[in-house]
Structure 1
């Protein structure tokens, strides 16, 4: 049976296109025949705009103006696009059904906020984990817009942007279920986290990557109780300079219904504070839903290895007795 490459199924063509940049797709296959033109202009599920490079210029000039079904673009990545004229390209950057959006190394401006709003109605996944520059007012406005999105389920956000010192001017509650706050060299503040959690009643998973925990509280948050239902919590911290009691008090106040708890310390611990048997007994007795604990910690060279291992074994036995799975990553 005689056949040509142009007769391949749409699924096969889309698979081929995943290995090519959009510019190369169009340069190679556009105007080969009407069917391929239809595929190229109808099925572009993911678009990446980076800086104002050759690929970005090509997309804005030769691809975006001619897309037949703009609603088929469900994934968008904007990286360092500060040199792109957002005002004059507003129509070319309009994709009404974007579900996944990555924003990296952007400067937050009024034009950017307008662009973000017009493309965020159907967002389910948003990643702004890398450093984003902009004044405090613009950053605050962006956070308010994010927490007002009605379909957002998963959010990866730079820690600094989430730590707003003031209440947000929104009345709705966010549907976000999974939140990851990323700030390797930044501290997170308990009182500001409490403010943020007020707007996240449906949150199920919270993951914080931080340098340190700041326990300074204010009168504005002392009487606020968290009503979220977080079941999974991960803390990835540079070094524990807070006591185990301080840490557990934070968990009991902010995440009282946690089922899975993971603690990652990127620096070796200097004492046995976080392996204290008695403190752990009181802690787990206060968390009736706790089912699994992961401790990714290592001892410093100043701590005796045999004593360390003995305390680890005592903790393991304690958790078995209380029907809790404990994993100690060494």
Structure 2
């Protein structure tokens, strides 16, 4: 048989090599696209964004990286009573400024404490976080959430984010409020509300969660709270915001102040203490606990028009900060 010229063989090899490279590149692009979510956020697998954070990252930057992996199919483990109690005890010790004891108690359930400094203000916060989440090694994280505690001012108020990512950008509202107003505690859920089995990760309606255990501790101490939610445009078509005091009425004055502040910024607010509104949060378990403890509590639903723009979020945060200023005087 006549052998083909050496030049022809070399050309064929080059063509095969080029084909292999094209296929490999296509595979990489395919994997990249599979890691993207429909809402345009970063890939949902792992904690790569958080591991890449600069050392001087502030609270909002850290929370954005932390929640970037949240999705309906991300992991959630129901904590036991002892596990919930351990995290709440650790937070309580931090509130009392017993850091060493808090670190030992939290280590019982693989939680840790680290200090985060806000670059714009120099204010310091204790970050209470799950070591397993921070390591980024778990394909099915426990999803128990975090707390951020102001270390430079007496604690006077809290902001609660029970549905990060699911209620789009509420995590940004909570983090920005903490950074803007001294004396706060931020409690943020650690999973998408539809993660896990059934509704067990919907912490606004589940008492057996780490999120609720921390909020319960705050309510027992008389620390007022604002819980931020996001509502769909058709939930309350006439309104941009629904503000409620939940089951109790201890925070009616603060609710009026918040509604007035939002109205001055151009937003229509349904005031649930004065009229019937959708999404009043009457069944919210943190609100019920606050009512039982006679602690001020506001349940606030923000429309997408506010949450989806930086200008809207800034106005919402400014209005909420006016309420926390009053609580700081108490």
Scaled to the shorter chain, the TM-score interval is: under 0.3
Q: State TM-score, norm by structure 1.
A: 0.26
Q: Which has the larger radius of gyration?
A: 1
Whose relative contact order is higher, 1 or 2, with alpha carbons under 8 Å and at least 6 apart? Answer: 2
Q: State TM-score, norm by structure 2.
A: 0.26
